[in-house]
Amino acid sequence: MRREFLPYYRPLLESHEMEAVLESMRGGWLTTGPRVHEFETSFAAGSGVAHAVAVNSGTAALHLSLAAWGIGPGDEVVMPAFTFVAGAQCARHVGARPVFADIDPKTLCITAETVKRVMTARVKAIMPMQYGGQPLAIADLMEFAGQAGLRVIEDAAHAAGTLDQNGRWAGVMSHAAAYSFYATKNMTCGEGGMFVTNDGDLAERVRVLALHGMDRDAWRRYTQGGKWRYDVVSTGYKYNLSDTAASLGIHQLKRLASMQRRREELARLYISELKDVAGIAPLTLPPPLPAKHSFCIFAVGIDEQAAGVSRDEVIERLNQANIGTSVHFIPTHLFSSFSHAAQAPLPVTDRVWKTIVSLPLYPAMSDEDVMDVTGALRDIVVRAHPADAVSSVPK
């Protein structure tokens, strides 16, 4: 058994990144300013999406897109229930109703087919999500959205490092995408997010909504030559990113490709080591190139019959073996705050979530850490089958 606890997540920050944060603080400008503008420019260039607006969370980016499109009371937004609750709450923030579509059992993402099943005349937008970083069938979704006159905002919280079937970042094919730089994401600012779109007018509306509806941010007012007067042109929110956070984001973006290489190595090691573990199957698998999985989450499914233990027991025993795990996700329609809403059946979501466990996977992990996890899983399954274990001892 491991001596030290292996946490589900631990960030790997390099000293030059910490130095960049200090440097930005020494510069005397803490709120939205030159570092945020640099981060936006480099994110737009890196993603291949024309416009990037930095905000203080992925949730803020989702909320702003719905607000900027004027989605509101009486409208519906289709999204997976098998995701984090942020998107559903954002639909509620603007007075709209979240409607849940089922997931494809292979990709664990919603598809044009599952969206069609819950369509009504009230649906105004679709909010698909790359589950754990799994590339979406975005071309099909965009074709359907085009026919039905719907907007598509990708909840790209897990998608820094994901490339779609054409080798493109989230936000290139759709109307907009919302990235999250929350602490456990593939690149982080601690807290932060990025709204990206190829629509210049939409980007400008989001920029204004993100700062109280003001037409000019502080950097453009307080710096030498800046103009003090500003107008408030609409209702707005306080969602701007700080320069302190952006200075970390700039360096995380530069390191994203190398961090992704390490994530992929670790994922491949998990996949090969889990081959002989009965009843525990990786659900996170590398897609054919040029698509790429971001390996933001490494999920396995527990087949209770074959493994001899339930998902909950596996989590408990890994914990006893000093290994942290997580579950992504408790589906949104099962939360008490959402359970009263009428809902179409979600058979795949309801079946899959009961079997799923997320294993630790992050660049700060060593190969030995992965072997500890797979060794512990093998042990759990062998102990659950004492008869097989005895019969497998050579005579």
Asked if 43 and 159 count as a contact pair (C-beta separation under 8 A), the reply is: no
Residue 350: φ, ψ to 5°: -65, -35
Quote the least distance from Cβ 136 to ligand PLP, whole Å.
12
φ, ψ for residue 223 (rounded to 5)? -85, 165
Distance of closest approach, residue 326 Cβ to ligand PLP, in angstroms: 11
Q: How far is the CB of 386 from ligand PLP (least distance, A)?
A: 39
Residue of 169, 167, 181, 166 lying closest to 48 (CA atoms): 169
Cβ 368 to ligand PLP shortest distance, Å: 28
Residue 332: CB minimum distance to ligand PLP, A: 11
Nearer to ligand PLP, 69 or 239 (CB): 239
Smallest distance from the beta carbon of 155 to ligand PLP, in angstroms?
Answer: 5
| CB closer to ligand PLP out of 83 and 374 | 83
Taking the least distance from each CB to ligand PLP, the nearer of 132 and 308 is: 132
Report the residue number whose CB is nearest to ligand PLP. Answer: 58
Identity of the residue, 153 or 266, whose beta carbon is nearer to ligand PLP in the bound complex: 153
Q: Which candidate in 116, 124, 185, 227 is catalytic?
A: 185
Residue closer to ligand PLP (CB basis): 57 or 247: 57
185 a catalytic residue: yes
Q: Which is closer to ligand PLP, CB of 129 or CB of 214?
A: 129
CA distance 220 to 230: 10
Query: From the CB of 193, what's the least distance to ligand PLP, in Å?
Result: 5
Site residues (vs ligand PLP, CB under 6 A): 57-59, 83-84, 86, 129, 155, 157-158, 180, 182, 193
Nearer to ligand PLP, 96 or 280 (CB): 96
- Residues annotated as catalytic (active site), given as ranges: 185
